[in-house]
Structure 1
């Protein structure tokens, strides 16, 4: 599983130890960690400076699209992290936002009501437990890609409906299935039975 790890490159150096702890926890849990801001090796940072090639925005989008999960440490962060979190959220990627207790005013982050967007405080002593626990719950929130063939008539209808409702076809289908699942009494009985075990 690929985790895109965000932290502010301009954050106070006192947070670097926390960044490293988070990075180490992710590595110990066998996640592939990618980051545009944080590298443990000075040579990796030096190699990336001044390289010609892809547009930085394209690189950023590529990293986010590659990720199964996004983890952001926002203690002392700047605006760029908020922008990246917005992009990841728009792509419906599960996000874990971490901050050291007492270091930030969360503002709008505290108001987000989405099971795929978790905001959590930590202390240096419990960071490993917090990251491990919150990751377990976020992994369960991941979407699974499901492709299937439909007739051209159904495709035309979905296109028309998408324009009429101003919503993507996938969102329409997902909502339709969620509604069906919610009112399917047999399935709800099975869910209740499995929860009681």
Structure 2
């Protein structure tokens, strides 16, 4: 898959290890980076520290390159621990063009994206996951596997008892999410954090 990775550069020194890891995992997992820009951003940040005057970025050109990368990719990965207007714009553009979106935020951050403005986005194209360096690879593997075949959605109906219905009604109201989204997240969390046997199965069939 052709993948675009984006993050804020506002605190790039603080989170650069995470950004570099995500960037490298995309390639390690067999995908192609549409725009590999992290090293350039780090060099620019270093140059700002060491010089009294730093050449300004050509923002029109940057905007064009960022937009072109989103349009050219098959899926987008965002590290959104640090909020930015650029990330919000790119997420909106990706959804508009029907691109699968993985939104990541670090467990080390006190900010929880599920309590932020971005959590109000209502799209079946979006996967939001909190990560650490141990869980990151599995989260990305599952996201790519789910979307390599086009990420088609399959309707699935089942019966629940009153206890589950009561919880879903409560959770839907309190978390401002649809019942379907709550069920999807619950299953996805089980896949990501609990079901090692399923991960082993995926490893076998992918060889």
TM-score tier (shorter): 0.5 to 0.7
> How many residues are matched?
141
Structure 1 portions without partners, runs of 5+ = 144-197
2:71 is matched with which residue: 55, 65, 73?
Answer: 65
Q: Determine the structure 1 residue equivalent to 2:33.
A: 33
Q: Once the two structures are superposed, what CA deviation does each residue of 1:43-63 show, in whole Å capped at 9, x if it has no partner?
A: 7998xx778797433222211
Aligned mates of 1:88, 1:133 — CA distance in 2:
19
Aligned mates of 2:136, 2:40 — CA distance in 1:
18
Structure 2 CA distance for partners of 1:80 and 1:37, relative to 1, 3 Å:
farther
Structure 2 CA distance for partners of 1:63 and 1:133, relative to 1, 3 Å:
same
Where in structure 1 do 4 or more consecutive aligned residues deviate above 4 Å?
40-46, 49-54
Q: Determine the structure 1 residue equivalent to 2:121.
A: 112
Look up the SS of the partner of 2:38 in the other structure.
coil
1:19 aligns to 2:25 (yes or no): no
Aligned mates of 2:12, 2:40 — CA distance in 1:
16
Look up the SS of the partner of 1:39 in the other structure.
helix
Aligned mates of 1:113, 1:138 — CA distance in 2:
18
Structure 2 CA distance for partners of 1:52 and 1:10, relative to 1, 3 Å:
closer
Q: Once the two structures are superposed, what CA deviation does each residue of 1:51-99 show, in whole Å capped at 9, x if it has no partner?
A: 8797433222211111111100011232211111111111111111011
TM-score (norm 1): 0.60
CA contact (8 A) 1:94 1:116 kept: yes
Q: Determine the structure 1 residue equivalent to 2:134.
A: 125
Structure 2 portions without partners, runs of 5+ = 48-54, 153-207
Offset, 1:115: 2.5
Q: Determine the structure 1 residue equivalent to 2:62.
A: 56
Higher Rg of the two aligned structures: 1
TM-score (norm 2): 0.57
